[in-house]
Structure 1
Amino acid sequence: MLIALLTDFGNRDWFVGVMKGVILKINPNVNVVDLSHEVAPQNVKEAGFILWNAYRFFPKGTIFVCVVDPTVGSDRKIIAVQTKEHIFIAPDNGILDFVLSEVEVLKSVYVENKSYFLENISTTFHGRDIFAPVAAYISRGVDLGELGEEASFRKPEGIFVEASTPGDYIGEVIYIDRFGNLITNIKPTADIDGEVKIKEYIIEKISKTYADVKSGQLLALIDSSGLLEIGVRNGNAKELTKADYGEKVFLKVKKI
């Protein structure tokens, strides 16, 4: 059994280590791995995109514990979701939307049963006091139905912009990686011939690789996630364009 942790806690403090300690104290036989702890603080969409990129590559039965929780301690709900392949535990704040837009949900519950929490629950560290022990108990065989009442579920829509025919599409930047590449929610369904515009910058064609353009030149390509990405060969597209999360991106598909 595998538990994968995704948080915005960073690695400087004790938060991640303590979560692992809680898990292993309850189930010493489970394996715990780090998906990422460098999500920008409180950036729920960034965390959701990282999870979407990663989950399908993990073994069947993996439990994903997602703690990017700006309203921790409030009356927000915590949900546990079971799909055909995996289990996800997260605040009910949209962090799972990317994943849930494309998987079949078998069961979804609110995490409410304090029998599976630590005894003393802080208002600021539910990762330690709720998420970690709940994940550990699930890894020991506790059924999601024991955690709480069934959660209402509606499949998220409009997460990606499917560019499947010639025409004009409008998307936005949903992720910026450490290289400054601008990843959009535009999802071409095949090789395309098109033009991309972001702010005042126009990219006249879709490249196959970064090597298709000169060093320092802006380009657009379809990345390893199947999404339209804007980058700079040997440079930083975020710095060049001054674009940020939510920046509109325009794609004109000429032919497919």
Structure 2
Amino acid sequence: MAIITLTTDFGYKDHFVGVIKGAIYSELADAKIVDISNEISPFNIPECAYILKNSYKSFPKGTIHIVGVDSEPTPENQHIAILVDGHYFITANNGVIGLITSEITPEKVVEINIPNPEHGSFPVLDVFVKVACHIARGGTLEVVGKLFNKLKDIREFAPRITENGNGIVGSVIYIDNFGNVITNIERHTFEAYRKGRDFILNARNKKITKIYNKYSDIINFDLEKDRRNGPGDLLALFNSSNYIELAIYKSDLNTVGGASTLLGLDYRDTITIDFK
């Protein structure tokens, strides 16, 4: 039986996640359901896209991903099912898989059109669960919809190149549980325009001139402990997804704070890089 994952902004206070799982088990008693995240910020498509991109590849091919963020259907927000990179995604056409399809061409995309659909306020339950169970039983996408070629993308994921390649203007796309700030500037974009030059990364009133590959790289272990950088110090690094991330070493939002709070950065705030 295929794995079915859930990525939603439903949280856990309400009954929604439990009801979805109950409906899947009612149709497929031996289903395997995995929560990727049900704590996406409400209607935050870029945040959902970032989490989905960085999680789906850890699952085996054939996994079915239900995406319940901004899922109410409208003439401009169609329900779609997609086969891309060997994975199935059931979502609304709101750009949420734009990060994946910008790099990998989908094998098939259909606009969902199942018989006698419910038209209530809970389409993830009424539509997405039915489609996921159909696929899990070995059903094809052609049975649940017609071919579709109008996928939306997400403009927030494209940083701007300025001054004839001498600068990059990026933005904050995600803030994680530690308060680390993830930007939309990827390593390959940074290196393509850097061309070996020095640079200054500007984040509010902070200027950073070095980007590390892991958090502990900020520490020079050859120095005495009282002379080293350490917990509470700001750094930039290429994170595991190869995006530029700003972090406070060993941060804790409940005590010392994180990069987001200490720098005063929030979703869509600007980060700039100047090459010298």
Corresponding letter in the other structure for 2:7: L
Provide the rounded CA distance (Å) in 2 between the counterparts of 1:131 and 1:67.
8
Provide the rounded CA distance (Å) in 2 between the counterparts of 1:155 and 1:41.
19
Identity in percent = 35
- Secondary structure of the structure 2 residue equivalent to 1:214: coil
Structure 2 unaligned spans of 5+: 219-228, 252-257
Shift in alpha-carbon separation, 1:155–1:113, aligned structure 2, 3 A: closer
RMSD: 2.4
Q: What is the Cα deviation at residue 122 of structure 1? A: 4.9
Tell me, yes or no, if the aligned pair for 1:26 and 1:137 is still in contact at 8 Å. Answer: no
What pairs with 1:83-232 in structure 2 (closer than 5 Å)? 83-114=84-115, 117=117, 121-153=118-150, 156=153, 159-161=157-159, 167-189=166-188, 194-211=199-216, 212=218, 213-232=229-248
Shift in alpha-carbon separation, 1:156–1:73, aligned structure 2, 3 A: closer
Structure 1 unaligned spans of 5+: none
Q: What is the Cα deviation at residue 156 of structure 1? A: 4.2
Tell me, yes or no, if the aligned pair for 2:160 and 2:170 is still in contact at 8 Å. Answer: no
Corresponding letter in the other structure for 1:205: K
* Residue from 240, 250, 254 that aligns with 2:272: 250
Q: What is the Cα deviation at residue 113 of structure 1? A: 1.6
Tell me, yes or no, if the aligned pair for 1:221 and 1:230 is still in contact at 8 Å. Answer: yes
Provide the rounded CA distance (Å) in 2 between the counterparts of 1:232 and 1:194.
20
Provide the rounded CA distance (Å) in 1 between the counterparts of 2:66 and 2:268.
26
Please give the TM-score of this superposition, normalised by the length of structure 2: 0.81
- Secondary structure of the structure 2 residue equivalent to 1:134: helix
Q: What is the Cα deviation at residue 29 of structure 1? A: 2.9
Provide the rounded CA distance (Å) in 2 between the counterparts of 1:43 and 1:157.
11
The yes-or-no answer on 1:240 pairing with 2:245 is no
Aligned residues: 247
Q: Which moved more, 1:225-234 or 1:187-196?
A: 187-196
Please give the TM-score of this superposition, normalised by the length of structure 1: 0.87
Provide the rounded CA distance (Å) in 2 between the counterparts of 1:249 and 1:153.
31
Provide the rounded CA distance (Å) in 2 between the counterparts of 1:154 and 1:129.
22
Deviations 1:87-106 (A, max 9, x none): 11101111111111112211
Greater gyration radius: 2
